[in-house]
Amino acid sequence: MKKTTYFLLGLASMVLLTACSDDDGNSSGFSPEELVGTWDLTAVNVSSEVDLNDDGVSSSNLIDEQDCISGTITINADNTYQFQQSNFSITPITGGLYFVDCNGTVQATGAWASDGVQVAFQGSTTLGTVQLSGNRIIKTVDQDLPGVLSYTYERR
């Protein structure tokens, strides 16, 4: 109940800030209408390049290295969303190597609000508040390996 109250207060604050913003013609950010749609996970960035699939090419994007990682966010016009993403863990192995284990899916639904620069997702500790940049939604995590720096979603 406490989390819901804090979310509703945050949602109301974001709505008020958006409603009271000046109209200076600045086209940066997103309008709520521009956020509506399906966004696909295109990058799970880690701090160091890894070659998990042993193809001889290292990447800092785990999606390039692991076929089992995927995700989507569907943002609806009625301020609800659906989220699903592969659940995975990263385990260090000797010699600077890492193992990624995909084990199921994380799913969430709830309400969302945006000020044009950030989107707050109620009902998901995985998403929480994300940043909008260009045509991307970015969730910054900033974990050192074995961990994730950020997740990037792009409009479908």
Instruction: Evaluate whether residue 101 is within a structural domain.
Output: yes
Q: How far, in Å, are 65, 69, 106, 154 from residue 52 at the CA level?
A: 5, 13, 22, 24
Task: For 64-87, give the DSSP string.
Answer: HH-TT--EEEEE-TTSEEEEEEEE
Using CA atoms, how far apart are residues 153 and 24, in angstroms rounded to an integer? 28
Strands (E), 9-141: 37-50, 59-61, 71-75, 80-93, 97-114, 118-121, 129-133, 136-140
Number of domains making up the chain:
1
Average pLDDT, the chain: 84
- Residue 20 predicted with pLDDT over 80: no
Q: Tell me, what's the pLDDT at 38?
A: 97
Using CA atoms, how far apart are residues 31 and 21, in angstroms rounded to an integer? 12
Using CA atoms, how far apart are residues 120 and 111, in angstroms rounded to an integer? 8
Instruction: Evaluate whether residue 26 is within a structural domain.
Output: no
Least confident of 5-9, 53-57, 104-108: 5-9
* Average pLDDT, integer, range 2-25: 45
Instruction: Evaluate whether residue 53 is within a structural domain.
Output: yes
Instruction: Evaluate whether residue 79 is within a structural domain.
Output: yes
Q: Tell me, what's the pLDDT at 6?
A: 46
Whether the Cβ atoms of residue 107 and residue 116 lie closer than 8 Å to each other: no
Instruction: Evaluate whether residue 71 is within a structural domain.
Output: yes
Domain range for 100 is 2-21+32-155
Q: Tell me, what's the pLDDT at 28?
A: 59
**Chain segment 92-109, per-residue pLDDT in tens:** 888 778 899 999 999 999
Whether the Cβ atoms of residue 116 and residue 29 lie closer than 8 Å to each other: yes
The CATH number given to whatever domain includes residue 151 is 2.40.128.300
* Average pLDDT, integer, range 57-84: 97
**Chain segment 39-50, per-residue pLDDT in tens:** 999 999 998 899
Instruction: Evaluate whether residue 27 is within a structural domain.
Output: no
Instruction: Evaluate whether residue 43 is within a structural domain.
Output: yes
Instruction: Evaluate whether residue 61 is within a structural domain.
Output: yes
Q: Tell me, what's the pLDDT at 134?
A: 83
Please report, rounded to a whole number, the percentage of residues in the chain having pLDDT higher than 70: 81
